[in-house]
Amino acid sequence: MDWWLLTFFLGAILSLFLQEVPALFQLFLLLCLAIGFYSHKKLRYSSGLWFGALWILAQAYLYHNLLPPPLIELMENKQAFFIEGEVLSIQVKPPIMLSEHIKESAVQQKANSTKRFNFLVNKINQQLLESPITIRLSWQKSTIDLAQGQRLSLNVKVKPAHGLANIGTFNYLSWLKAHNIVATGYVVNPRKKKNSNYQEAEDLKSLKANKLLMANITMRQALFEHYQSLTPNHKLTPILLALAFGERSSLNTELWQTLQVTGTSHLIAISGLHIGLLAGSAFFIVMFFFQYIPLRNPCWQHINSRYIAIAVSLLLATAYAYLAGFSLPTQRALVMLNLYWLSRVVGIKFSAKRLILVTIFILLIITPFSLLTASFWLSVYAVAIIFVSLWRFKAWMNKGPYLWRFFKTLFIIQVALTVMLMPITALFFQKISLVSLFANIIAVPWMSAFSIPTALMSVVLIPISESLAQWFMMLSLQSLTWLWFYLDLLSELPNAIISLSFVQQMIVLLVGNAAFSILYLSPCLWTRGGKQITFVLLALSAIVFSYHEPIMSSLNTYAWSKEVKTPKDAINFQAESGFSSWEVIFFDVGQGTSVLIKRDDQAILYDTGAAYPSGFTMSDAVILPFLQYSAIEKLDKVILSHSDNDHVGGLRTLIEHISIDEIISNDKTLFNSKALSLNALSTTTNLGPSNRRLTDCQPRNSFSWQGLRFDILWPLAWDPSNESVNRGKQKNDDSCVILISDQLGTTLLLTGDISSKVEQKLLKFYPQLNADILQVPHHGSKTSSSQAFLSQLSPDVALVSAGYLNRWHMPVAIVRQRYHDSKIQLLNSAELGQIIITVDEEGMSTQSFTEDLRPFWFSH
């Protein structure tokens, strides 16, 4: 049985490495293969491989077919439509609303912040769906006081589930699939039409209004609002809410930073630790009650007190999981807890290995896409490490007095978890905390003994006594305050957390595998069980390595780049180093532009993508993670094409987080007091006007870098027809156009957002202009990419940066047709994700995220 469960798990993992989800008839063939294996006696225990793959792929097929065709058509046409359904996400109320009585009727209040929530849809335009679907919505200036459990009718615009696709970054699409969310969008607020009378405006508003159909809210939402209204005004109140309800949206950046640097984020995510602590405490309290409190009624004597204790334990654990919204970690904890108590009641002896495998099997049946989440792998691996450590060091931990044994066990488990979780943490989060051991060795027992129990007691006591509940809140907050002082000290230590490049992640992974083999597998390496464990480790390692680019190639590149000191001068560079390959990394930043020119371990960035009012920037989400992934520690230059937000929005974030030697831009208003002062720029990156590190984009400032020639073609220095070139707010036609060429003559033309008017001027001023690689002007709008421009340039590849199903329909159909007629390969980041073009002595090679870099069905 264990082997079948293990192969089922491996089959589920291997199913993730297909590029596309198989068609229905292919799934049927896979089912026949699985049944055939199971029918053969010698192959029966290996049939789990096919059943596991079949189960995950069948769920993926169903997920991809959840959206009905009429709805997909509405999405592709970018039309608004009405949906009816239920709010699934718990909503955190602003403090001003907590003092007001929550009415059962609609509360018409406008919120300043954007609300984000999951919504279970069962009707679209009054048509009942065959099966409900879950979508994720945002709502600016909501006219309804949202709460979990409400039924609403909303006017929305949505798109099928999609996310930015860049290597080294968070994959939003995988997160959506893991939570079974099939579409994302926003709620449309009705707007009054101009030149219409009052009555017409009111009629229009009533037709398009977002309505509250049913005001009933869930018990969890009501309890959370009541609890939140009682919490004191304290900087650690968000931590208290996270411990009690698993609600972490209130945590600010400062709190998150302390948790991440110290490696204690897991302590506020309700999971196995919290569920196990509550279940164990409940069991021992009930057993103590029956053992030491005399019960004279003879009926009690015929009842096995252990069964009552187990029932109370499961009931309280389930209630706590409900408060946490039955998140994936709580589901895993509940499954394992139920299996453990079932084995105790029925008398079935579960080995640790079988308990873990059965738990994984049940989890994959209940939540198959949990395989896509980091929390699944972290929790499963952590539980496995705990069991293996208890087995491996059992003899040493059982020596000495009871109290001494307890502390030794705690220390061994914590050290094992900290060290052994480093490889998987590095793989998922690209960071490792060097102070996590010192933080967790204190934080885990402290929170288990004080902070978590008092937080839970404060929730339990709310129906009994609000004042007593508040007293326990204060106790919990006081214990957290003392602990937080210690965590803050650790987080402020130099190099408390280290960011890792891809190569460093692989090194940590290899060292972790070696350490695990030496510490845990050496006593039983040649036993049957040891061979099975070794096989699993090798299989998982091979899977992880195949998931990334070739390791040895990356290691060789990394080592060579560190050994060779690259000269700056182009002639010396060519003479001493010969021709080395260079890359054009075309980021997927939605409706915006960002291109990285990389040679060896140095880089120049052209545009930074957009920034949004919420604080989200493409620099934070895409550019900086990729630079870290590629071990690029600074940018030699940042070139800003013009001042539109979708091209320069991420500049401030870049300057705050990475060293920049020079910025090239014609818009000096980007650095004024409202945006980014020159003083701040000089302080952060050692730039300043005195050493001319802030440079105009003009032809006289063309330069050579790493053997590449950067010729600035536009704007011209003193063009009388364009007075805004060198000062003030820039327009699209003021974009900085640069021609990049290497020693072998391969050229790249970066065009920004120029229109066909500037294209014609470029052809006039540079009659010999041509390019092998072209950044499509203005995202493929109808005002650019003229036929004459394409005919003269005649590029082999054209790269267009556009948002998925953007409202401007870019690149527009007529532009697509021009590139097709000119036999120019048009690559769209909205379809392919990140695109990397490598130029070497043999020519150009193109890789895209969806087809080459991460060609797996769950990531695109």
Q: Looking at residues 272-286, what average pLDDT do you find? A: 85
In-domain check, residue 545: no
pLDDT in the model for residue 269: 79
At CA 795, angle to CA 815 and CA 700, rounded to 5? 105
Given a cut of 90, is residue 582 above it in pLDDT? yes
Q: Looking at residues 736-751, what average pLDDT do you find? A: 95
- 576 and 658 belong to one structural domain: yes
Looking at 515, 545, 574, the residue that finishes a domain is 515
Q: How many CB atoms lie within 10 A of CB 61?
A: 16
Strand partners, 844: 839
- Highest mean pLDDT: which range of 462-466, 512-516, 549-553: 462-466
Could you say which DSSP state residue 190 is in?
Answer: P
Please give the residue that has the higher pLDDT: either 710 or 233. Answer: 710
Q: In what order do the strands lie in the sheet with 694-695?
A: 694-695, 659-664, 634-639, 602-606, 595-599, 582-586, 835-840, 843-848
Helix, strand, or coil here: 209? coil
pLDDT in the model for residue 1: 76
Of the pLDDT bands very low, low, confident and very high (cuts 50, 70, 90), residue 109 is: very low
Q: Looking at residues 741-768, what average pLDDT do you find? A: 94
- 197 and 317 belong to one structural domain: no
Q: Looking at residues 455-478, what average pLDDT do you find? A: 92
Percent of the chain with pLDDT strictly greater than 90: 50
Q: Looking at residues 733-760, what average pLDDT do you find? A: 95
- The amino acid at 195: N
Q: Looking at residues 404-410, what average pLDDT do you find? A: 81
- Selection from 821, 802, 798, 822 nearest residue 812 by Cα: 802
Sorted by sequence, the CB contacts under 8 Å of residue 852 that are 6+ apart come out as none
Half-sphere exposure of 585 (CA within 13 A, CB side): 22
CA dihedral 262, 267, 273, 277 (to 10 degrees): 120
- 676 and 795 belong to one structural domain: yes
- 388 and 305 belong to one structural domain: yes
pLDDT in the model for residue 680: 44
Q: Looking at residues 635-652, what average pLDDT do you find? A: 94
Q: Looking at residues 454-475, what average pLDDT do you find? A: 91
In-domain check, residue 786: yes
Sorted by sequence, the CB contacts under 8 Å of residue 667 that are 6+ apart come out as 640, 642, 643, 648, 728, 729, 730
- Digit-coded pLDDT (tens) for 688-700: 333 347 889 999 9
pLDDT in the model for residue 523: 62
Residue with tokens 């001023």: 765
Structure tokens at 450: 């004080």
- The amino acid at 249: S
**44-48, 215-219, 433-437, 569-573: segment of lowest average pLDDT:** 569-573
Percent of the chain with pLDDT strictly greater than 70: 83
* Range(s) of the domain holding residue 178: 69-217
Given a cut of 80, is residue 482 above it in pLDDT? yes
- 89 and 235 belong to one structural domain: no
- 91 and 55 belong to one structural domain: no
What is the rounded distance in angstroms from the CA atom of residue 635 to the CA atom of residue 655?
10
What is the rounded distance in angstroms from the CA atom of residue 75 to the CA atom of residue 102?
35
Instruction: Please state, in angstroms and as integers, the Cα–Cα distance from residue 545 to each residue in 17, 53, 427, 535, 550, following that order.
Output: 12, 20, 11, 15, 8
Given a cut of 80, is residue 670 above it in pLDDT? no
> Is the separation of the CB atoms in 135 and 185 below 8 Å?
yes
pLDDT in the model for residue 301: 57
- Digit-coded pLDDT (tens) for 498-536: 888 888 888 888 888 777 777 777 665 545 555 555 555
Instruction: Please state, in angstroms and as integers, the Cα–Cα distance from residue 215 to each residue in 143, 153, 577, following that order.
Output: 14, 12, 71
Given a cut of 50, is residue 489 above it in pLDDT? yes
Strand partners, 843: 840
What is the rounded distance in angstroms from the CA atom of residue 663 to the CA atom of residue 67?
46
Given a cut of 90, is residue 208 above it in pLDDT? no
Q: Looking at residues 351-366, what average pLDDT do you find? A: 89
Mean pLDDT of the residues in the chain:
83
- 486 and 586 belong to one structural domain: no
**359-368, 387-396, 724-733, 753-762: segment of lowest average pLDDT:** 724-733
- Digit-coded pLDDT (tens) for 599-612: 988 999 999 999 99
> Is the separation of the CB atoms in 149 and 831 below 8 Å?
no
E-strand ranges in 33-190 read 81-87, 115-124, 127-139, 151-160, 181-187
Please give the residue that has the higher pLDDT: either 719 or 616. Answer: 616
**411-425, 552-566, 749-763: segment of lowest average pLDDT:** 552-566
Please give the residue that has the higher pLDDT: either 686 or 43. Answer: 43
Handedness of CA 677, 682, 687, 690 (dihedral sign): positive
Looking at 515, 536, 570, the residue that finishes a domain is 515
Q: Looking at residues 658-681, what average pLDDT do you find? A: 69
Q: Looking at residues 620-638, what average pLDDT do you find? A: 94
> Is the separation of the CB atoms in 627 and 658 below 8 Å?
yes
- Digit-coded pLDDT (tens) for 63-82: 999 998 889 988 988 889 99
At CA 567, angle to CA 563 and CA 569, rounded to 5? 165
- 153 and 244 belong to one structural domain: no
- Selection from 354, 379, 382 nearest residue 529 by Cα: 354
Of the pLDDT bands very low, low, confident and very high (cuts 50, 70, 90), residue 182 is: very high
Of the pLDDT bands very low, low, confident and very high (cuts 50, 70, 90), residue 111 is: very low
- 345 and 300 belong to one structural domain: yes
In-domain check, residue 542: no
Structure tokens at 424: 């998987």
Structure tokens at 710: 């950067």
In-domain check, residue 688: yes
pLDDT in the model for residue 318: 92
- 161 and 252 belong to one structural domain: no
**209-213, 278-282, 369-373, 531-535: segment of lowest average pLDDT:** 531-535
In-domain check, residue 555: no
What is the rounded distance in angstroms from the CA atom of residue 96 to the CA atom of residue 91?
14
pLDDT in the model for residue 750: 97
**109-118, 136-145, 235-244, 456-465: segment of lowest average pLDDT:** 109-118
In-domain check, residue 529: no
pLDDT in the model for residue 384: 85
Given a cut of 90, is residue 141 above it in pLDDT? no
In-domain check, residue 526: no
- 349 and 286 belong to one structural domain: yes
> Is the separation of the CB atoms in 667 and 696 below 8 Å?
no
Given a cut of 60, is residue 727 above it in pLDDT? no
Please give the residue that has the higher pLDDT: either 787 or 521. Answer: 787
Q: Looking at residues 410-422, what average pLDDT do you find? A: 84
- 731 and 831 belong to one structural domain: yes
pLDDT in the model for residue 538: 57
Of the pLDDT bands very low, low, confident and very high (cuts 50, 70, 90), residue 683 is: very low
Half-sphere exposure of 742 (CA within 13 A, CB side): 24
Please give the residue that has the higher pLDDT: either 518 or 831. Answer: 831
**pTM assigned to the model:** 0.85
Q: Looking at residues 434-443, what average pLDDT do you find? A: 89
Given a cut of 70, is residue 413 above it in pLDDT? yes
Looking at 217, 241, 274, the residue that finishes a domain is 217
Runs of H (alpha helix) within 370-401? 374-392, 394-397
Number of domains in the chain: 4
pLDDT in the model for residue 504: 87
In-domain check, residue 532: no
